[in-house]
Chain A
Amino acid sequence: MKIKRRMSRNERREALEGYLFVLPLLVGLVGLTLWPVIRSLMISFCQYNIMNPAKFVGGRNYIELFHDPLFWQSLKVTVIYSIVSVPLGLAAGLAVALLMNQKVRGISLFRTIYYLPAVVSGVAVSLLWVWIFNPDYGLANTALKSVGIAPQQWLSSPKTALGSLIFMSLWGVGGGMVIYLAGLQSVPGQLYEASEIDGANSLQQFRHITLPMLTPVIFYNLVMGIIGSFQVFTQAFVMTGGGPVNSTLFYVLYLYKQAFNYFHMGYASAMAWILFAIILVLTLLVFKSSSMWVYYEGERRN
């Protein structure tokens, strides 16, 4: 027999209060996130310049995209950037984290210093690096000169501009470093002690203890790195404007140009959905592959 229980006065009150509290968040989520997402999907099938009413054009925006050389150029730039900068950032972050995990006097000061760049605003960092890359007065060429290497054009040449931005991405390793550091500190000390008794050297310890124990953190940093690198915008917008000759025309920068310089909102929305699909597929692939290389504590391998 089922007993239908009515909510007591107090319970109802509590529920109401609960909803009242989450109301501002819900309004924001639905009105400022969910609705724009749905709208952008709708607009991606329309011709729309924000003034005239949107005109339905079917899949024309998507078809035009595939014939647009700049779309492929922006995709190429972004993919190259991701392929190089994500592994580079992962490795550099881990390397710095290992250094910052040493028991040295004043280590927390060093940790702060290495983490600091990661919290500085992207625009400020970009302006700083414009100085560093200045061919005549920049730090980069001064450093090269002191070791006898010819000065480079950095951002001024289509050959080196993208490479310069990849190099600059190392500036943000502090963010990944902090997460690695947290991972490193949770590796149980007895594993190292046991391996020491077995005669393992530090390289073997790193290869067979540290690295496997860190795989969940590496996994997390990899996923976030991929998502972040496909959305690079600020550096190119502030420093190069996509040039010279579209050599740093990142995907999101081109999307921005289509939307807010040319007012092709439908085209830009279509680009946004293709980007979403790319990131989704890549993230799913990484998740699928995780069973092969990510080790979780308490998990048994057969």
Chain B
Amino acid sequence: MLIRLHKLAITCIPLLLCILLCSGCSNHNQQTSNVINLRMSVFGAKQESDLANALARKFEKTHPNIKVNVEPVAGTGYDVKLIMQSAANTLPDVVFLTDTLVPPFIDFKVVRNLRDFTDKDKSFNLDDIYPQMRNTGVGKDGGLYMLPRELGVVVLFYNRTLFKRAGLPDPRPDWNYDDLLRIAKKLTIKDENGRIIQYGMSAPYAWGACYSAWVIANGGSVINSQGRSTFSKPETLRALHTLTDLVTVYKVSMPPNQSLTAPGIDPFAAGKVAMIINVFPQVPQFRATMRNFDWDVQMLPAGRVKRVINIGSAGYGISSTTKHPQESWEFLKYIMSQEGQRVLGRTGSGIPALKSLANDPCWRKPNLKPHNLDAFINSVKYGMDWQTIMPLTKSEVSDAVSEAFDKVFTGQADVETAFKAADIKINRILDAESKQ
């Protein structure tokens, strides 16, 4: 008996191992009768998967023949994962993406053009989406690759408690760069040893959504109509100075390598920084952590030349290889319906992208901060043309820009040297790309 078992084991174990090895490849696609399973990939943050699951469950109620499985991608490699899935032909059906992911996801054939649906489907009203937001989902070829789910504008968050302590009134909607500098100086506080313990402001300087609009508002430009970098132009360098001087000359804005707080604690939420440049999805975090402070939002100040505000969005697309394009479109349509958009609005992590919901109570909550929600809606009309800065969102280019800012902030080079070097580098990258 024992010997027989031994023989059985000898033949079975390797066989089992092989089966185990192979079984990993073929376990999705078990479809029962007429139910269609849609796979949807979302960015790994809990906020994202909660929203996607909420949308999916509601959608399934009215579409009993479709089931949506949400696949969160953990970590920072969301784009890499989707691009690899595209190469391996294992893409999900519905794909979460952001404005900056639109160009690479087109290049790597992750998402498909949605114009076939938006043109044909009369029940879908594309015109209700803010045109500036719609524009963020458009590719170089004019196709629409992402339906933007939210109104994304860059605004200024300010700590009203710190303003009051300094005897300052709230910033007015018509304020400008000089007002910002004046206020920031008053809000920068040193201790008896001359060490700064509170900064007037801080900004994500090297973030495309921060510096590009800032440069244009102050008379510079970042890219010309031929798609070449203009970082070395004198007017651009002057405009960059208005941003970097806040850190290096006036010392009223917090350098990017400092924090004044322990790791993981937001300096603005901790009251160590009085003003920050940020976006609406930060609101839930500040609502939860800033209980000891009164705070609000205001439109970004006008620059030396004009007011330009960076806009952007996140949204959803349909994968290039889906076997269920129609069902995926139905789901996308639901997400972009008033009902679906209200689900987003209620989470507090995004402003609906539909003009018709601009005053909807789903996201306007009078009992909660911030109160000046019109700042978001009013900023849209100053929104810069997303398409013009699209080439700068390429990760190689944004790395070159970050390097230049790093050099300036660590004192390794002045603005002129750093950005003239970046200019050469960026144009070389863009040239290499166009040659491919």
Contact = CB atoms under 8 A, between A and B. Distances in A.
Interface stretch (A128-136, A214-222, A270-278, A291-299): A128-136
Interface in A181-216: none
A21 B107 contact: no
Interface in A30-71: 47, 49-51
Contacts of B412: 158, 245
A244 B83 contact: no
A245 B395 contact: no
A157 interface: yes
Measured as residues with beta carbon below 8 angstroms from the partner, the interface class of chain B is 20 to 34
Interface in A69-115: none
B14 A21 contact: yes
A143 interface: no
B17 A244 contact: no
B263 A24 contact: no
A23 B13 CA distance: 11
Nearest to B262: A137
B304 interface: no
Contacts of A246: 403
Interface string B66-101: 000000000001001001101100000000000000
A245 B407 contact: yes
B403 A153 contact: no
B288 interface: no
Interface stretch (B138-146, B252-260, B293-301): B252-260
Contact of A243 (B10, B17, B406): B406
B388 interface: no
A76 B80 CA distance: 28
Given A137-B262, A244-B410, A261-B396, A153 B18 contact: no
Nearest to A155: B257
B179 to A, nearest CB: 30
Contacts of B406: 158, 243-245
Measured as residues with beta carbon below 8 angstroms from the partner, the interface class of chain A is 20 to 34
Contacts of B125: none
Contacts of A29: none
Q: Is the interface of B mostly helix, strand, loop or mixed?
A: helix
Nearest to B197: A136
Nearest to A242: B399
B262 A23 contact: no
Contacts of A244: 257, 406, 410
A40 to B, nearest CB: 15
Q: Is the interface of A mostly helix, strand, loop or mixed?
A: loop
Given A137-B261, A245-B403, A261 B14 contact: no
A17 B9 CA distance: 11
Contact of A24 (B14, B80, B259, B262): B14
Nearest to B88: A50
B410 A157 contact: yes
A171 interface: no
Contact of A260 (B14, B17, B77): B77
B21 interface: yes
Most buried by A among B21, B261, B410: B410
B21 A51 contact: no
Interface of B: 10-11, 13-15, 17-18, 21, 77, 80, 83-84, 86-87, 107-109, 257-263, 395-396, 399, 402-403, 406-407, 410, 412, 436
Interface of A: 17, 20-21, 23-24, 27, 47, 49-51, 130-131, 134-137, 153, 156-158, 243-246, 257, 260-263
Given A50-B84, A261-B399, 10 more contacts: A51-B83, A51-B86, A51-B107, A135-B258, A153-B257, A157-B257, A158-B406, A243-B406, A244-B410, A245-B406
User: Would you list the 9 A-B pairs with minimal beta carbon distance, nearest first?
Assistant: A156-B257, A20-B14, A137-B262, A24-B17, A245-B406, A50-B87, A261-B395, A262-B396, A260-B80
